[in-house]
Amino acid sequence: MVQNTLDFLMEYGIWGVVIHSFADAIIFPIPVFFLQVSLSMIDPSHALWIATAGYIACLLGTPVGYFLGKGLGHSVLYKILKKEWIDSATAMFQKRGEMAVFIGAFTPIPFKVFTIMSGCLKFPLWKLIGYAAIGRAVKFYLVGFLFYFYGRMAENMVNNASLYVFLIMIPILLIGLWIKKRWNKRRELLALSKQTSDDSSK
């Protein structure tokens, strides 16, 4: 069934990737990663175009999945998604908060789980799109660049490269969040200090 679906979408080339990637962010059970790799194998010179098409379609599908989750609510998630996917995504949200969306871009869990879950948990849409834009860009273009520069030999590199990029990006993201937290705290202290000064001068 899975292979038949991929074969059907492969017949449409880059438009198959657009359809698959858009649906992957909403309800499609097969990650677009497999189709991207298969099409990039056929013609590595088009790998970057394939990555771009998939990336844009994913971002367009992200708010659709979000509003689907927001409208349906958490109670119906188990009817349309696998229990293990939901449990894993929920654990990520509880432990890592907003980082869950970014991390979800690299995990084997289909991305639609995170878009729908974000809607259910009323996670800010702009943050969902922001983190998805970063995480999915890395995911799509990692595959695209590897096939573009290494051709069909990249097939054996993709999985290991994804792991290495994931291990590199997570510390960078953690540092960014720490800096943001420190900056916000500093702004709050300055605002409080200014308010105290104004009150004392009255």
In tens, the pLDDT along 41-90 reads 998 999 999 999 999 999 999 999 899 888 876 666 677 667 777 777 77
- CA–CA dist 194, 128 (Å, integer): 34
pLDDT tens digit string along 17-26? 999 999 888 8
Q: How far apart are CA 39 and CA 50, in angstroms?
A: 8
Mean pLDDT of the chain: 78
Question: Is the distance from CB of 141 to CB of 40 less than 8 angstroms?
Answer: no
81 closest CA partner among 32, 114, 59, 54: 114
Contact status, residue 54 vs residue 22, Cβ threshold 8 Å: no
